[in-house]
A and B are shown apart, each in its own frame.
Chain A
Amino acid sequence: MSLRAEIIALLASTALAAFAAPSEGALVDALGREIKVPAASPKRVVTLAPSLAELAADVLGAELDAIVGVSEYTDYPRALERATKVGPFHRFNLESVVALKPDLVLATADGNPSDRVLRLQELGLNVVVVDTSTLAGVEHSFRLAGLSLGRPKDGEALAGRFKAGLQAFRGRAAARAGLAPRVLFQLDREPLVSVGGGTFLQEALSALGAENALSDLRTRYPRPALEEVVRRDPDWILILAMDGRESGAFRRMADDWKPFTGMKAVKAGQVRVLDASELGRPSMRLLSGLSRLERELFPGALP
C-alpha cells in the first residue's frame, strides 16, 4: 500500500537475492535478478517513468524508435511524444503495457507500484527494475539500462559520465568548505509536502555541500507541521516547480512564507521558486538540475 512499504519489500527481495549470490561481477537489478546482455537488442521497449524514458533514450542515442511505450508526463526527449502512453508512473495501465508486446519493460522501485511491476513479470514480460532513490542507484541504473538494451559499453560510459559530473560538484563543494546552508525543499502547500531523508534529492543537496533541513526524517516525502519548519528555521526555502503546473501556484507557495518575518530564509530573501523540471528527474539531466541548484545557492562562487 504505502510506497515506502513497497520499496522496503523490493529492497528485502534484493537483500534475499544477495544470498543467492549471482556470479562474480554480475549486475543485479532492484528485484535481485542478474541482468545479462540479451542475444538480440530489444526492439520494443516500454518505460514506466519519465526518468526511465530519458535513461533509455540516453543509452539508445539515435535509435529512439525502439521505445514504443512511455508513461504519462514523459516530455524529454521530445521525439518520444509520439510513443504510446501507458498511464502515469504511479498507476500505469497493465493492459496498455501488455498490449504493446514489449520485449523489455524498464520499471523503477522508486515510484512504480510493486504489485503491478511483479504482475508484468508474472505475465512473462522481460522486466528490469532500477532503483533511483540514491545517486549511486542512478549511476547503477545507467549500467542496468545499457546491459538490458544490449549496449553495455554505452551504459558504462554514461555511468562514468554521471559519476564524473557528480565528482565535479563534490570537488567545488569541498572548496566551499564551511559554507553549508540548510535548505528546505517544498513540493506542495496545504498540506506542506517536503523532501526527507533517503531520497536522491537529499543526496543531491549534500553533493553540493548543502544540508537538507529535514534530513533526519525517515519519511521520504514528509508533511511537516508549519511550526516545525519555523522551529528548524532553514537558510533557504526552495519551492520545486515540477513541470505541468501553472507558475502562479508556486508563486503563492512562496508568498505564504512572507508573514514569517522572523525566519532566516524570509529575512534574507531566500524563499525562491526553482525550476525543477531537471532536478526532479533521476537521470542524466539531474546534472543540469544540480548546476541550476548550485547557481541558486552559491551565486558568485562559481568558476
Chain B
Amino acid sequence: MRAGAPARLAVIGAAFGLLAFTLSLKLGVADHLDPELIVQLRLPRALLAAAVGAGLAVAGAALQALFANPLCEPYTLGISSGSALGAVLGGALGLAADYGGVGLTAFAGALVFAAVLQLLGSRGGFPTSSLLLAGVMLGFLGSSLVALWMALADAAGIQGALFWLLGDLSRARLQGAVLTWAAVGLLISTLWSRWRGLDALLLGEEDARALGIDVPALRKRVLISASLLVGFCVSSAGMIGFVGLVVPHFIRRFAGSLHSSLIPLSALWGAAVLMAADLGARLAASPYELPVGVVTALFGAPLFLWVLTRARGTR
C-alpha cells in the first residue's frame, strides 16, 4: 500500500457512486424521462440500495475484524436468518409486505437472534471463536425453519419468498429509504468511532488487551451495532449476498487494513456497488427483474478473483 491510496480510492469510489446514482435515476424500462417515475420509483430504489450496500459492507468489515476471520460476512452470524424467519412468519400471518408489516417482523426476527447471541456472548469466558460457531448454528436453525415453511407452503407463494431470500429492492419507498439511511448512518458512525479498538484486534485479543482495550466491551458494542445494521438491511431489502464479504476485502487490498479509512471506504464502495448492481438487475433482462443478489455475486466473484491474482503478481 502506498501513501495516498485511501484518498485515491475515496475519490474513485465517490465518482463511481455518483455515476451509478445518476444512471439509476436516468435509465429504466421507460424510454422517456418522467419526473414522477424518477421520484416515486427510481430515487427510493437508488437510495435504499446505497444505504443497504453501505450497511452490509461496514457490518462485514467490522465482523471480519472482530472474529479475525476473513470469511466472516454480515450473514455469518445467522442474524439474517432470524430476519428471514421473521419475514416468512409475517407473510404467513397475512401482514402487508411493507415496512409496517413484514419489514417489522423481519426486524424483530433479527433482534431476537441477536439477543440470543448476545446472551451467549455475555456469559463469562465464552471465547470469541465459540461465539462465531454459535452464530453459524443459529443461522442453520433459522434457515432450516425457513426451508420447512417453504416445503409446506403453496407452490405459488414460494416465488415471492425466493426473490426475497436473494435480495429485492423493488419494495423501496421514499420514507422507508430515508429511514434506513438515518439508521444505517448512525450505526456506521458508531462502528467507525471504535476504529482504534478494531485496529488493536488485528493484533489478536491478547495484544489488544495489553494495549488497554476493553475487549469484552468492544465485542459487545460491535456485535450490537453490526446486528442492528444487518437487521435494518435485511428487513428492507432481503438477503443480498456478497457485498458484505467482498467489499471490505477489496478495500483492504488497495487501501490497507486500518479501520479509520477501511470503514468509511467500505461504506462508500458498498453503496456504489449495490446501486450499480441494482441498475443491472433492473435492466439486464427487462421487463423481468433479476434478484439483485444474483447480480452482485455473478459479477463480484470473478472480479474479486481477478483482484486476488493481480495483487499477488505485483507483490
- Which chain A residues lie closer than 8 Å to B160 at the CB level? 1-3, 6, 90, 113
Give B37's nearest chain A residue, CB to CB. Answer: A98
Asked if A246 is an interface residue, CB under 8 A from chain B, the answer is no
CB distance from A132 to the nearest CB of B (A): 14
Please report the C-alpha to C-alpha distance between residue A111 and residue B169 in the assembled complex, in whole angstroms. Answer: 20
Q: Which among A72, A115, A220 has the highest number of chain B CB atoms within 10 Å?
A: A115
Please report the C-alpha to C-alpha distance between residue A75 and residue B29 in the assembled complex, in whole angstroms. Answer: 22
Tell whether, in the assembled complex, residue B154 and residue A95 are in contact, meaning their CB atoms are under 8 Å apart: no
Provide the main secondary structure of the chain B interface. helix
- Which chain B residues lie closer than 8 Å to A99 at the CB level? 28-30, 32, 34, 37
Asked if A174 is an interface residue, CB under 8 A from chain B, the answer is no
Q: Which of B159-174 contact A (CB under 8 A)?
A: 159-161, 163-164, 170-171
Tell whether, in the assembled complex, residue B96 and residue A1 are in contact, meaning their CB atoms are under 8 Å apart: no
- Which chain B residues lie closer than 8 Å to A219 at the CB level? 152-154
Please report the C-alpha to C-alpha distance between residue A119 and residue B44 in the assembled complex, in whole angstroms. Answer: 13
Number of interface residues of B (CB under 8 A): 42
Tell whether, in the assembled complex, residue B171 and residue A115 are in contact, meaning their CB atoms are under 8 Å apart: yes
- Which chain B residues lie closer than 8 Å to A302 at the CB level? none
Tell whether, in the assembled complex, residue B41 and residue A95 are in contact, meaning their CB atoms are under 8 Å apart: yes
Instruction: Write the A91-102 contact mask toward B (1 if CB under 8 angstroms, else 0).
Output: 111111011000
Asked if A283 is an interface residue, CB under 8 A from chain B, the answer is no
Tell whether, in the assembled complex, residue B287 and residue A113 are in contact, meaning their CB atoms are under 8 Å apart: no
CB distance from B57 to the nearest CB of A (A): 27
Q: Which of B15-46 contact A (CB under 8 A)?
A: 28-30, 32, 34, 36-37, 40-42
Given A87, A119, A193, which contacts B288 in the complex, CB threshold below 8 Å? A87
Given B36, B87, B92, B157, which contacts A98 in the complex, CB threshold below 8 Å? B36
Q: Which among B87, B171, B282 has the highest number of chain A CB atoms within 10 Å?
A: B171
Tell whether, in the assembled complex, residue A91 and residue B289 are in contact, meaning their CB atoms are under 8 Å apart: yes
Given A5, A93, A220, which contacts B91 in the complex, CB threshold below 8 Å? A5
- Which chain A residues lie closer than 8 Å to B289 at the CB level? 87, 91, 93
Tell whether, in the assembled complex, residue B41 and residue A98 are in contact, meaning their CB atoms are under 8 Å apart: yes
Tell whether, in the assembled complex, residue A90 and residue B34 are in contact, meaning their CB atoms are under 8 Å apart: no
Known interface pairs A8-B94, A95-B28, A98-B41; A221-B155 also in contact (CB < 8 Å): yes
Tell whether, in the assembled complex, residue A1 and residue B29 are in contact, meaning their CB atoms are under 8 Å apart: no
Instruction: Write the B276-288 contact mask toward A (1 if CB under 8 angstroms, else 0).
Output: 0000001000111
Known interface pairs A99-B37, A115-B96, A123-B40; A5-B157 also in contact (CB < 8 Å): yes
Asked if B7 is an interface residue, CB under 8 A from chain A, the answer is no
CB distance from A210 to the nearest CB of B (A): 22
Given A87, A88, A111, A115, which contacts B97 in the complex, CB threshold below 8 Å? A115
Give B288's nearest chain A residue, CB to CB. Answer: A87
Asked if B214 is an interface residue, CB under 8 A from chain A, the answer is no
Asked if B255 is an interface residue, CB under 8 A from chain A, the answer is no
Tell whether, in the assembled complex, residue B30 and residue A95 are in contact, meaning their CB atoms are under 8 Å apart: yes
Tell whether, in the assembled complex, residue A5 and residue B159 are in contact, meaning their CB atoms are under 8 Å apart: no
Question: Residues on B close to A: CB < 8 A?
Answer: 28-30, 32, 34, 36-37, 40-42, 87-88, 90-98, 102, 151-161, 163-164, 170-171, 282, 286-289
Question: Residues on A close to B: CB < 8 A?
Answer: 1-6, 8-9, 12, 72, 85-88, 90-96, 98-99, 111, 113-116, 118-119, 123, 187-188, 193, 219-223
The 6 closest A-B pairs by CB, nearest first: A1-B91, A2-B157, A99-B30, A115-B97, A87-B287, A3-B156
In the complex, 24 of the A-B residue pairs with CB atoms within 8 angstroms, ordered by the A residue number, are A1-B87, A1-B97, A2-B154, A3-B160, A4-B153, A6-B97, A8-B94, A9-B95, A87-B287, A91-B288, A93-B29, A93-B286, A94-B41, A94-B170, A95-B37, A96-B30, A113-B97, A123-B36, A123-B41, A193-B155, A219-B153, A219-B154, A220-B156, A221-B155
